[in-house]
Structure 1
Amino acid sequence: MTPRETVEVPETPGDDAQRVWIHDPTLRDGHHAVRHLLGREQLRGYAAAANAAGIPVVEVGHGNGLGASSLQVGRAALADASMLEEVREELTTSRMGVFVLPGWGTLTDLRQAISLGADVVRVGTHCTESDLAERHLGFLRDAGVQAQAVLLMSHMASPERLAEECLKLTQYGASAVGIFDSSGHYLPPDVTERVTAITAAVDVPVIFHAHNNLGMAVANSVAAVQAGARIIDGCARGFGAGAGNAQLEVVVPVLERLGHATGVDLYRLLDAADFAERELMPSPPTIDSVGVVSGLAGVFSGFKTRVLDVARREGVDPRDVFFELGRRQAVAGQEDLIMDVAKELRRSSAQPPAVGAAATTGGAM
Structure 2
Amino acid sequence: MLKEYYSRNELIKFVSNTPKDIEICDVTLRDGEQTPGVVFTREEKIALARELDEVGVEIIEAGFPVVSAAEKDTVKEIAGMGLDARTCCLSRALIADVDSAIDCNVDMVSIFIAMSDLHLKHKYHKSCKEITDCAFNTIEYAKDHGLSVRFAAEDATRTDISVLKKAFLTAEDYGVDYVSIADTIGILNPSTAYYLVTEIKKEIHTPVCIHCHNDLGLATANTLAAAEAGAKQLHTTVNGIGERAGNAALEEVLLSLMVQYGIEKYNTRNIKKISDLVQKYSNVQVAANKAIVGKNAFSHESGIHVMAILEDPRTYELFSPEIVGGKRNLIAGKHTGMKALKGIVKDIGYSLEEEELNLLIERVKNCTEAKKGISRNRLEDIIKGIKKV
Deviation at 1:88, TM superposition (A): 2.7
Relative to 1, partners in 2 of residues 1:170 and 1:281: Cα closer, same or farther, differing over 3 Å? Answer: farther
Relative to 1, partners in 2 of residues 1:171 and 1:284: Cα closer, same or farther, differing over 3 Å? Answer: farther
The aligned runs of 1:31-110 (5 Å cut-off) are 31-35=33-37, 37-61=39-63, 65-67=64-66, 69=67, 79-102=70-93, 106-110=94-98
- Alignment match of 1:113 (pick from 70, 77, 101): 101
Deviation at 1:172, TM superposition (A): 2.3
1:151 correspondence with 2:159: no
Relative to 1, partners in 2 of residues 1:34 and 1:79: Cα closer, same or farther, differing over 3 Å? Answer: farther
In structure 1, C-alpha distance between the alignment counterparts of 2:25 and 2:264, rounded to whole Å: 11
Letter paired with 2:71: D
Contact 2:26 2:61 in 1 (8 A): yes
% same residue: 25
Contact 2:40 2:281 in 1 (8 A): no
5+ residue gaps in structure 1? 4-15, 70-75, 287-365
RMSD, matched Cα: 2.5
Deviation at 1:17, TM superposition (A): 6.9
In structure 1, C-alpha distance between the alignment counterparts of 2:2 and 2:183, rounded to whole Å: 29
Letter paired with 2:77: E
TM-score by length of 1: 0.66
TM-score by length of 2: 0.62
The aligned runs of 1:203-214 (5 Å cut-off) are 203-214=205-216
Contact 2:223 2:234 in 1 (8 A): yes
Deviation at 1:265, TM superposition (A): 0.9
The aligned runs of 1:103-142 (5 Å cut-off) are 106-128=94-116, 129=128, 130-142=132-144
5+ residue gaps in structure 2? 4-17, 117-127, 289-389
Relative to 1, partners in 2 of residues 1:212 and 1:276: Cα closer, same or farther, differing over 3 Å? Answer: same
Contact 1:54 1:94 in 2 (8 A): yes
- Report Cα offsets for 1:211-245 as digits up to 9, x if no partner: 11101001100110111111100000011111000
User: 4+ residue runs of structure 1 moved beyond 4 angstroms?
Assistant: none
Deviation at 1:85, TM superposition (A): 2.9
Higher Cα radius of gyration: 2
Relative to 1, partners in 2 of residues 1:245 and 1:265: Cα closer, same or farther, differing over 3 Å? Answer: same
Relative to 1, partners in 2 of residues 1:36 and 1:135: Cα closer, same or farther, differing over 3 Å? Answer: farther
In structure 2, C-alpha distance between the alignment counterparts of 1:284 and 1:177, rounded to whole Å: 32
Tell me: higher relative CO, structure 1 or 2? Use CA pairs within 8 A at least 6 residues apart. 1
Letter paired with 2:209: I
Deviation at 1:87, TM superposition (A): 2.1
Show the counterpart of 2:162.
Answer: 160
SS in 2 for 1:183: coil
Count of aligned residue pairs for this structure pair: 260
Show the counterpart of 1:172.
Answer: 174
Deviation at 1:86, TM superposition (A): 3.4
- Alignment match of 2:231 (pick from 223, 229, 232): 229
Contact 1:21 1:262 in 2 (8 A): no
